[in-house]
Amino acid sequence: MRGTHVMGVLNVTPDSFSDGGRWLDPEAAVAHARQMVAEGADVVDVGGESTRPGARPVDEAEELRRVVPVLEALAGSVRLSIDTRKAGVARAAVAAGATIINDVSADLWPVAAETGVGWVAMHMPADPSVMQRHAHYEDVVTEVRDYLVDRAERARAAGVTDIWIDPGIGFGKTARHNLLLLRHLDQLVGTGWPVLVGTSRKTFLGGLAPERDGSLAPTGDRLEATVATTAWALAQGARMVRVHDVRPAAEAAVLARGSRDRTDSALPAGRSRRDGVTSGGGAR
Ligand code: HH2
């Protein structure tokens, strides 16, 4: 996938951190997906297990029961990804129409190789139930980058051709770690692997842009901060953003694309025009 893309989040779960229970009914889920496509989603990311900090694991049969009917109903109308950590769910999702495995465990590249679909490797230092206890890094940007490049190279060696890397904002990271990763996103972009970023409604935004009384802004009040960080990520060269509110992100993506197209012709020699990324030193 070339260019800049918006991945709309479709959580078919009772307990996701910002929209748990809203799209549990398959008909409501499918209608919401269609709405996101109408608003500009290029990919719909279907998830049947919450990975919020402290989340309880869901068994495979239940996760399949949640996601497969929704994927089957949407197959053919939009590119679909499956947000899962389970190989069995990933395989069934591909059979139902998913063409990307969005893998927060970054372990499932063999399934992507076997099924011939795309794969997102996200950084997460430990299982969601305990990951916030593992938010310790000497140099978060270098450690996350090196981990992701290693995973991407393994996947490429196994035969996966459509590979994405994602710093895993909010996964086993403090607010400071999240901000450092965003501020130095160019380090990830500079690897040459396409970068996906998901800041949507995450807790650190509630602290960055708090309520008037200084308390954490609730998930429903994090739209502006989501749009600001999404636009920042795109300006740094992220090629896909994962969001709950598609319309403003799609607009930010159009602006990012437009500003690149209009300014690339003015770049001095030696700078790549491909997506505005400086050439040289990349993984491919
Ligand atoms: N964030 C969440 C879930 N999956 N996948 C990728 N690649 N990147 C992310 O940043 C990411 C992700 C968490 O958001 P959400 O799906 O809304 O919450 P929950 O895990 O509670 O369902």
Question: What's the pLDDT tens digit per position in 225-268?
Answer: 999 999 999 999 999 999 999 999 999 988 887 777 777 766 66
pLDDT above 90 for 54? no
pLDDT above 70 for 283? no
What is the C-alpha separation between 96 and 75, in angstroms, rounded?
7
Q: Please, what is the average pLDDT of the chain?
A: 91
The structure's pTM equals 0.92
Q: Which residue has the higher pLDDT, 196 or 55?
A: 196
Decide whether any atom of ligand 1 lies within 6 Å of the 13 Cβ.
yes
Instruction: Ligand 1 pocket test: pick from 15, 36, 52 the residue with the most ligand atoms within 8 Å of its Cβ.
Output: 52
Decide whether any atom of ligand 1 lies within 6 Å of the 245 Cβ.
no
Hey, where are the domains in the chain? 5-276
What is the C-alpha separation between 40 and 257, in angstroms, rounded?
14
Per-residue pLDDT of 97-127, as tens digits, reads 999 999 999 999 999 999 999 999 999 988 8
Active site residues: 202, 242
Instruction: Ligand 1 pocket test: pick from 7, 10, 17 the residue with the most ligand atoms within 8 Å of its Cβ.
Output: 17
Say what the pLDDT of residue 268 is: 65
Position 199 confidence tier, pLDDT thresholds 50, 70, 90: very high
What is the C-alpha separation between 199 and 111, in angstroms, rounded?
26
Locate 3 and state its tokens.
Answer: 């260019």
Pairing of strands 196-197, 240-243: parallel
Say what the pLDDT of residue 269 is: 59
- Please tell me the distance between residue 95's alpha carbon and the centre of ligand 1 in angstroms: 22
Fold topology of 5-276: TIM Barrel (3.20.20)
- Closest ligand 1 atom number to CA of residue 166: 7
Locate 245 and state its tokens.
Answer: 């509110």
- Please tell me the distance between residue 254's alpha carbon and the centre of ligand 1 in angstroms: 23
pLDDT above 50 for 181? yes
